Structure 1
Amino acid sequence: MGILKAVVVLTMISTLLLSIIWKATLDSDEDGNQNFIQCLLDNSVPSHPISSAIYTPESSSYSPVLQSYIRNLRFNESWTPKPFLILTPLHQSHVQAAVVCGKSHGVRMKIRSGGHDYEGLSYVSDVPFFLLDMFNLRSIDVDIEHESAWVQAGATLGEVFYRIGERSTTHGFPAGVCPTVGVGGHVSGAGYGNMMRKYGVSADNILDAVVVDADGRVLDRRSMGEDLFWAIRGGGGASFAVVVAYKIKLVRVPERVTVFQVEKTLGKDDVTDIVDQWQHVSHNLPEQLFIRLMLDVVKKTVRASFVSLFLGDSDSLISIMNDRFPKLGLTKSDCIELSWVKSILFWSNIPLDTDNKVLLDRTLPTLYHLTRKSDYVREPIPKPGLDSIWKKMIELETPKMYFNPYGGKMAEIVEQEIPFPHRAGNLWKIQYIANWKEQGIEKANFYIDLTRKLHEFMTPFVSNNPRRAFLNYRDADLGTDYHKKGMHEEARAQGIKWFMGNFDRLVKIKGEVDPSNFFRYEQSIPLLPSLQHSDASV
C-alpha cells in the first residue's frame, strides 16, 4: 500500500507540474501575443490606424475572415492549425508594421493574397504564426495611354480583367482564367494563361513593383535593385519580401476573339489519333492560337476536351485548323466570336449572357477538397503510350490531366530572363487534378494517392534529370523541410525542379535581401548553409 500511495502521490505531483507548465506556456504565449499586438499599435501611422485591421480568435469576424479565402477544403478542418492573429492591411504602413513587429518578436508570418495555394502554405503552419491577408489592398489603376496598370497584390485576376475591359476593348493581360485567383501569388510565381504563346507568362509582363522588404522599407524597382525585382517575378515573392503592388504591361488584343470547346470520347471517336496530332502541332501553331487538352474519365471511358482561345476571327481560325489540325474536325458552328473579356467567362464556364461584373465576385460557387501536381513534356508520347495512359486513367478514374501547350513566345524568351525557366524545349505542361467532396483524412489520402499513382505512371513520358515542376502548382511531395540545418542539398535538389539553373541565383539574392530568413515558409528559397541559424527550422 505504501508503494501504491507513493505512486499515486508522484502521479498527482507530475500532473500538477504538467498543468502548471502548460498554463505557464499558455500565459507566455498570451503575453507574447499581446506584446505583438501592442507593437503593431505602436507602429501604426496616425493617419491610417491599424486597429481595425487586427483580428484575434476572440473576434466574431476572425473565422469568417480566415475561411473566406480558403479555396481548398482540406485546410478548413477543425484540426487545421490556425493563426493566432490575422492582419488585413488597409494601407502599406500596416504591412510595414507587420514586418517590423514580426521580425522583432520572432514570429512567423504567412502571406495570403487570394487563397488558391493548393497546399495551404500561405495560411497554415505547424508553428505559431500570424496571417497577413492582403485582400483589402486591391486597388487597380489602369492607364490605357501608357498601356499599363498598377495592381495591388490583393486584387483578383477577375477584377483586373474587368477594370481593363472597362477602359478598352483592345487591351488585355496574359494571366490565368480563374477569376478569383489573387494577383500577388499568381504573378510572383510566374502566372500563366491562354495568351502565353503570344505574350509569355504574367511575370514576363511586369514593369515595376512596390514591396516591403525585411527591414520594413517600402521599395520600388529603382530602390530595390534589379536582383530583387528579378526574383519576385517568378521566384515566389513570399521568399524575399511582401509584394504590395505590381505595375503590369497591358497587351493588345483584337476587338473580337474566337473560342471553342470540342469534346471527343474514346470508343466513339479516334481519340488516340486526334490527341497524337494535337501533340505534334499544338506547340507549332501560330502564336495567337492556344488549344488546351483536358483529359478525364466519364462513364468508364476517356473524354478528351479541346478548349481554345484564338486572337482573331473564326474564319481565320477554321483555315488554320483545316490546314494544321484537321483531325479535330472543327466547324464554324463550334466557334464563338466575342470580346476578350467575355472569353474569360467562357473559359470559367460562366454563361456568356452573364454581366461582366461577375468577374468582380471574389467568391467561388463551389469549394472542393483538392490536390494538384505538375509535369513538363519534352517529346511527343508514342501512340502505344497514349493507349496505356487511357487504360491507366480508366483504372484510377478520378484524376484528370490538363495539357497546356508551349511554343510561340514561350520558346523565344531565355530561361534566365526571370526565375521561371520552363521555356524552349518544353512542348506542354501537365496539371494533374483531383477534386472531391467527401470529408476526412482517409478520403483525402485516398484521392492524393490516386493522383500520385497517375503522376508516377507518367514518369517515362515527362521531363527527367530533373523532373520539372511548376512553382504555382503547390505540391507538398516536393518537400516541406527546406530550412532545417543540413537540408540545403535536399532543398536544392527540389528547387531546381522549379527553377533549374536559376535556383542558385535565387539563393544568393535571398542571402542578400533577407539574411535573417524572416520571409520563409515550408518551400521558400533557403539560405546558404553558412547563413543558416540554429533555429532556422522554427
Structure 2
Amino acid sequence: MFLFFSQPHHYKGNFCKSNGSAFARVFILSKIQAAIFCSKKYRLQMGIRSGGHDFEGSSYTSNIPFFVLDMSNFRSISIDIKGRTAWVGAGATVGEAYNSIYEANSTLGFPAAYCPTVGIGGHINGGGYGPLVRQFGLNTDNVIDARVINANGRVLDRKSMGEDLFWAIRGGDGASFAVILGYKLKLVEIPEKVTAFSINRTWEQNATQLLYKWQYIAPKLPLNLVITPQIVSINSNQTGKRTVQVTFVSVFRGKVDELLSIMNQQFPELGLKKEDCTEMLWIQYFAYAGGLPTSNIKEFLTSRVSSTKLYYKAKSDFVKEPIPEKGIEEILRKLNELPPFVGMLEWNHFGGGVMETIPESSLICFVS
C-alpha cells in the first residue's frame, strides 16, 4: 500500500534561492548539446525540467551555481495504432499524451498519473503510478525504448545506450544519467467508457472500520477496479464540529451492474448504490477524480497550467502490512487536530496484481 500525505505550505527563506541561476528553454537538439558542454566547461549544475511538478524543487533549485534546462518544447507525440506504441517527447505532459492517444484510438491508453500537468520526462524518471497500476504496472513497466543525450553529447537509443542505462532511466531519476529526449511507450487496451463513484464517509460513519476493511479487500478486487481513499479533516455540515472525512474515489473499467455485484460481495460495508455511480469516458475520469468538471475534457487534459493554485508539501511511504484498527484511529485523530483541509492522506493499493509478478531486479525501486 502506498501512502501519500500532502499539506499546504508557503516556503520562506532560501527554498527558492538560486545562487545565480539561469533558465535555458531549448527548441532544437543542438541547443541541448550546447547546454551540456556549457555545464561541463563552467562546472555548473544542470537541473532538467519537463513539466515542473517537483515536490522537493530539485529540478529548479540548488545550493550551488546551476541553470535549468527546460524541455517543454520537446513535446511531440507520435502514435502507432497498429503497433500499439507511442513515441512521446519528454516535455509533453501526461494529459497531452492521454488526449493524443484517445484521439487516435479511444480504446487505447497508457498507465500514468492522475494529474494531467505532470511532465512525461520526470514522471517516468521517477517510476510514476496511476489508476492502471494493479493491472499494467508503473509507467516504467510499459516503456520499451528511449532517446537520450549523454554527457558527451551523443544521442542514444535503447540499443546504443545498453540495458544498464536503459534500466537506470526508468525509475532511477533519469536526469542523473542523461538528458531524456523521449520515450517509446507500450499502449494498453482499455474500454472507452468506465463507471466511477465518489462516496464520502465521516469518522462518525465508521470511516475507521471502512479504511481497515479496505486494506484487506483492495488486493483481492478485480484488476479493472481501483478504489482510492482520500482522508481529510473538515467541518461537519451536520454538527458544525470538526471531523475527519474519507472519500472513496473509484473507477471500474466495466458496467455499473457488474460493479454493484462486486461491491456487494466484497465491500458491502461501503453501501454503494446505483445512484452513486456515473458512467463516463475513460479520459473524463481524470477530471472526475480531482473533483473537477468533466465537460471540456480536452482543455483539461492539454492545458499546461494547473486549474488550481494550490502549493503544498507532500511525502510518501509504503506500508507492507495492514495498519491495525487502533493505528488507523490514531492517524485520524492526528489528522483531526489540523485545521480543515490543511492536511490530506491518500492511500493507493499496489498489491494483488501485476506489481507482484515483476522481478525486483527488472526496475529501479519506485521513487516519489
Q: What TM-score does the superposition give when structure 2 sets the normalisation length? A: 0.91
Deviations 1:357-401 (A, max 9, x none): 321110012323311111111111222222222211112343211
CA 1:77/1:161 → structure 2, altered by over 3 Å: closer, same or farther?
A: farther
Deviations 1:10-50 (A, max 9, x none): xxxxxxxxxxxxxxxxxxxxxxxxxxxxxxxxxxxxxxxxx
Taking every aligned residue pair, what percent have the same amino acid on both sides? 45
Following superposition, the deviation at residue 122 of structure 1 comes to 0.3
How does 1:459-478 map onto structure 2 within 5 Å? 471-472=367-368
Secondary structure (helix, strand or coil) at the match of 1:396 reads coil
Deviations 1:324-375 (A, max 9, x none): 1111111111111122111222123321222423211100123233111111
Following superposition, the deviation at residue 165 of structure 1 comes to 0.9
Equivalence for 1:232: 169
1:359 aligns with 2:301: yes
Deviations 1:265-320 (A, max 9, x none): 112x1212211211111122111111111111001111011011111111111111
Contact residue 287 and residue 297 of structure 2 kept, 8 A:
no
CA 1:205/1:84 → structure 2, altered by over 3 Å: closer, same or farther?
A: same
Task: Write the distance in 1 (CA, Å) between the matches of 2:23 and 2:138.
Answer: 31
Secondary structure (helix, strand or coil) at the match of 2:360 reads coil
Letter of the 2:367 counterpart: L
Higher normalized contact order (CA 8 Å, seq sep 6+, divided by chain length): 2
1:350 aligns with 2:292: yes
Larger helix share, 1 or 2: 1
1:87 aligns with 2:24: yes
CA 1:155/1:73 → structure 2, altered by over 3 Å: closer, same or farther?
A: farther
1:142 aligns with 2:79: yes
Contact residue 280 and residue 380 of structure 1 kept, 8 A:
yes
Task: Write the distance in 2 (CA, Å) between the matches of 1:180 and 1:170.
Answer: 22
Task: Write the distance in 1 (CA, Å) between the matches of 2:300 and 2:10.
Answer: 23
Following superposition, the deviation at residue 471 of structure 1 comes to 2.1
Equivalence for 1:335: 277
Equivalence for 2:219: 283
CA root-mean-square deviation: 1.9
Equivalence for 2:3: none
- Aligned residue pairs total 352
Secondary structure (helix, strand or coil) at the match of 2:259 reads helix
Task: Write the distance in 1 (CA, Å) between the matches of 2:13 and 2:49.
Answer: 15
Task: Write the distance in 1 (CA, Å) between the matches of 2:44 and 2:16.
Answer: 21
**Unaligned 5+ runs, structure 2:** 1-7, 236-241
Equivalence for 2:5: none
Equivalence for 1:130: 67
Deviations 1:451-479 (A, max 9, x none): xxxxxxxxxxxxxxxxxxx522xxxxxxx
> Given the alignment, which residue of 282, 290, 296 partners 2:232?
296
Q: Which runs of 4+ in 1 moved over 4 A?
A: 75-79
Which protein has the larger Cα radius of gyration, Structure 1 or Structure 2?
A: 1
1:204 aligns with 2:141: yes
Letter of the 1:250 counterpart: L
Letter of the 1:270 counterpart: N
Contact residue 74 and residue 369 of structure 1 kept, 8 A:
no
Equivalence for 2:360: 415
Letter of the 2:208 counterpart: T
1:403 aligns with 2:299: no
1:266 aligns with 2:208: no
Task: Write the distance in 2 (CA, Å) between the matches of 1:153 and 1:224.
Answer: 17
Secondary structure (helix, strand or coil) at the match of 1:282 reads helix
**Unaligned 5+ runs, structure 1:** 1-70, 421-469, 473-538
Letter of the 2:124 counterpart: V
Q: What TM-score does the superposition give when structure 1 sets the normalisation length? A: 0.63
Task: Write the distance in 1 (CA, Å) between the matches of 2:10 and 2:161.
Answer: 37
> Given the alignment, which residue of 302, 317, 321 partners 1:375?
317
CA 1:84/1:387 → structure 2, altered by over 3 Å: closer, same or farther?
A: closer
